Amino acid sequence: MSATTAISNTQLRADLDGTVTAPGEPGYDEGRTVFYGGIDRRPAAIVRAANVDDVSRVIALARETGVELAIRSGGHSIPGHSTTDGGIVLDLRDLNALEIDVERRTAWVGGGVTTGRYTLAAAEHDLATPFGDTGSVGIGGLTLGGGVGYLVRKHGLTIDNLLAADVVTADGKLLRADADSHPDLFWALRGGGGNFGVVTGLQLRLHELETVVGGMLILPATPEAIHGFIAEAEAAPEELSAIANVMPAPPMPFLPPEQHGRLIIFAVLVYAGEAEAGERAMAPFRALAEPIADMLGPKPYPEIFVPAEEGFHPVASVRTMYVDTIDRSAAETIVEQLQASTAMMAAVQLRVLGGAAARVPVDATAYAHRRSPIMVNVAAMFGSSEEAPVHEPWVAGLAAALHQDGHGAYVNFLGDEGEERIRAAYPGETWDRLVAVKRRYDPTNLFRLNQNIPPG
Ligand SMILES: Cc1cc2nc3c(=O)[nH]c(=O)nc-3n(C[C@H](O)[C@H](O)[C@H](O)COP(=O)(O)OP(=O)(O)OC[C@H]3O[C@@H](n4cnc5c(N)ncnc54)[C@H](O)[C@@H]3O)c2cc1C
């Protein structure tokens, strides 16, 4: 059945409180645009749900017609799972309620809120929940995959701070999942992605966080500095989390023009603790090499986030993995390979994990990589999909060169890489448990436009 015969947008409009945008109508192109470029899909309808009832009705329509259903929160899915050719996009951005309970240090947030908006609102009360490194990412997608960011070592992943979730499942029913109610679903939602239903609300724990010590530190990317950076990040107190991008220096105004294009470590460090101890924790990183730019210092937590570039929709090829170590030889490989890339932008991103995230038992959530100490993401960004055959082999080659045995993948950074890689995100028993929960809550695989866990 084709989507156009299966759904009537006139009927859909009559049935919903939210808006429906069809091909050719104003706002259609904007509504179908996702963060990554080169993803040019044409949904039959873009529904902006106004409330939970709208979500249930759209799910019912997809169930009855078999039309493909894409769930969109912040639109940052790397393989473009939040849009569809000929199906319905269920856009959650208007589920944007945000209630902060300062006394209890918890927040209820709609499934379509961005992490940046939440972080700003929480900071007004000197509070924070750990998310990722980019404020335009949706809380929906980020949380369901895990959520790894600047507070990971101090306060864990986002899912380690998830207290409850309201979910509309494939039968159209609204369930509240938490430690006591639907615990199997609650387990699966913490890492299993959008496989189990549409999350319309999340309850999250907040932590006291006024100022942090941190910001950008830019160092020349020699193998010694890269290897040293990782060693220092592993040795640092767990108040400190760092994300280091090894990449050619972009033409940013605060970088001297002679550095543009040279390989740098573009690092963002965050010390979530007392200022003096924070300054001390920064010293070993500053000592790795003469910094090209040093913006480390005390600041309100939201200022850590690099502002998003409006209209930036790069085409990207990515690979994600976990490794045990970045030794001298791995650092040399990174430098050599980055120098050989002809992409508009190529980068190797290194995130040292551990701390609070590693203290959670491996089987407590569907994110099973608790013992993996370092996450590595290799990425090439370029102007158009036609260039992919040049850059994709470069990304795959560098990922293979850095690969260490027995390690998996982080589901939120997977591209469209096939079942084997999805299974790498869910090793061992995690996969079997996820399949069982999927069978229970979505036996027909209605929610399949994701890193899919088939019901078997
Ligand atoms: C620039 C950039 C920076 C990033 N940085 C980080 C980072 O620092 N840390 C990190 O952990 N990840 C990071 N990510 C990865 C990010 O977490 C995932 O891409 C995530 O899926 C994006 O969520 P979204 O809601 O913005 O995306 P969307 O494209 O809207 O959603 C992606 C998928 O998630 C599911 N989904 C989303 N919302 C819901 C919901 N409410 N209910 C049910 N299913 C839902 C759906 O299956 C959907 O297809 C980054 C991605 C980008 C592009």
Condensed to tens digits (0 to 9), the pLDDT of residues 429-449 reads 999 999 999 999 999 999 999
Distance CA 388, CA 244 (A): 25
Helix (H) or strand (E) holding 91: strand 88-91
Radius of gyration in angstroms for the set of CA atoms belonging to the chain, rounded to a whole number: 22
Nearest 10 degrees: CA dihedral of 230, 235, 240, 243?
10
Residue whose CA is at the smallest distance from ligand 1 atom 8: 132
Please say whether the beta carbons of 355 and 289 come within 8 A. Answer: no
**∠ at Cα 150 (138, 152), nearest 5°?**
95
Burial class, 424, CB count within 10 angstroms (exposed 0-12 / middle 13-18 / buried 19+): buried
d(CA 244, ligand 1 centre) in Å: 20
Indicate the SS3 state at residue 350.
Answer: strand
Per-residue model confidence (pLDDT) at position 344: 95
| Atom of ligand 1 minimally distant from the CA of 70 | 49
Residue nearest to atom 38 of ligand 1 (CA): 140
C-alpha 146 – ligand 1 centre gap (Å): 10
pLDDT at residue number 27: 97
**Minimum-distance ligand 1 atom for the alpha carbon of 140:** 38
Look up tokens 């040795």; give the residue.
Answer: 235
Residue 209 corresponds to which tokens in the numbers above? 């966080």
Q: Hey, whose CA ends up nearest to atom 52 of ligand 1?
A: 76
Chain center to CA of 187: 19
In the structure encoding, which two tokens stand for residue 328, read together? 């001298």
Residue 311 CA to ligand 1 center (angstroms) comes to 18
47 CA → ligand 1 middle, Å? 19
8 Å CB contact between 296 and 286? yes
* pLDDT(282) > 50: yes
Give the span between the Cα atoms of 105 and 161, in whole angstroms. 11
Average pLDDT over residues 152-175: 98
Distances (CA, A) of 432 to 2, 187, 206: 34, 13, 32
Are 153 and 357 within 8 A, CB to CB? yes
SS3 state at 80: coil
Report whether 366 contacts 192 (CB < 8 A). Answer: yes
User: From the CA of 414, how far away is ligand 1's center (Å)?
Assistant: 11
Pocket test for ligand 1, best of 35, 412, 414 (most atoms within 8 A of CB): 412
- The CA distances from residue 344 to 166, 281, 334, 338, 388, in Å, are 41, 34, 17, 12, 12
Residue closest via CA to ligand 1's atom 26 equals 74
Q: Report the nearest atom of ligand 1 relative to the CA of 142.
A: 17
Mind listing the pLDDT tens digit for each residue in 140-158? Answer: 999 999 999 999 999 999 9
3-state SS class at 212: strand
Name every protein residue with a CB atom under 6 angstroms from any ligand 1 atom.
35, 71-78, 81-82, 92, 111, 132-134, 137-138, 140-142, 144-149, 193-194, 198-199, 412-413, 449-450
Ligand 1 mutation target, pool 68, 76, 204, most atoms within 8 A of CB: 76
- Model confidence over 386-425: pLDDT tens digits? 999 999 999 999 999 999 987 799 999 999 999 999 999 9
| 144 contact partners, CB below 8 Å, separation of at least 6 | 189, 191, 192, 193, 194, 199
Specify the ligand 1 atom closest to the Cα of 133: 8
Partners of residue 393 on adjacent β-strands: none
Residue nearest to atom 44 of ligand 1 (CA): 194
Which residues, 6+ apart, have CB-to-CB distance to 243 below 8 Å? 133, 149, 150, 267, 268, 349, 350, 351
Query: Residue of the nearest CA to atom 17 in ligand 1?
Result: 142
Rounded to the nearest whole angstrom, what is the distance from the C-alpha of residue 141 to the centroid of ligand 1? 3
Q: Burial-class residue 159 by CB neighbours within 10 Å (0-12, 13-18, 19+).
A: buried
Res. 260: pLDDT tops 60: yes
Q: Is the pLDDT of residue 4 over 70?
A: no
Ligand 1 center–CA 412 separation, angstroms: 6
Contacts of 94 (CB under 8 A, 6+ apart): 18, 48, 49, 50, 112
Phi-psi group of 55: left, alpha or beta (phi > 0 → left; psi -120 to 50 → alpha; rest → beta): alpha
Give ∠ CA 367-314-138 in degrees, rounded to 5: 40
Q: How far is ligand 1, taken at its centre, from the CA of residue 136, in Å?
A: 10
* pLDDT (0 to 100) of residue 382: 95
CA of 306 to the centre of ligand 1 (A): 18
Distance in Å, CA 75 to ligand 1 centroid: 7
How far is the centre of ligand 1, averaged over its atoms, from the C-alpha of 219 (Å)?
A: 30
* pLDDT tens, residue by residue, 306-334: 888 888 899 999 999 999 999 999 999 99
Instruction: Name the one residue in this structure whose structure tokens are 């939210």.
Output: 18
- Please state, in angstroms and rounded to a whole number, the distance separating the CA atoms of residues 450 and 30: 22
| Percentage of the chain lying above the pLDDT 70 cut | 99
> How far does the centroid of ligand 1 lie from the alpha carbon of residue 234, in Å?
27
Residue nearest to atom 4 of ligand 1 (CA): 134
**Three-class SS state of 146:** coil
The Cα–Cα gap between 159 and 144 comes to: 7
DSSP E strands: which ranges in 253-314?
263-271, 293-294, 297-300
C-alpha 72 to ligand 1 mean position (Å): 9
Atom of ligand 1 nearest to the CA of 148: 11
Q: What is the pLDDT of residues 347-391, one digit of tens each?
A: 999 999 999 999 999 999 999 999 999 999 999 999 999 999 999
Tokens representing residue 359 in the block = 């203290």
Q: What dihedral do alpha carbons 182, 162, 415, 226 form, nearest 10°?
A: -150
How far apart are the two ends of the chain, measured CA to CA in Å?
24
Q: Which two tokens stand for residue 375?
A: 């996450």
Dist. CA 117–CA 122, nearest whole Å: 9
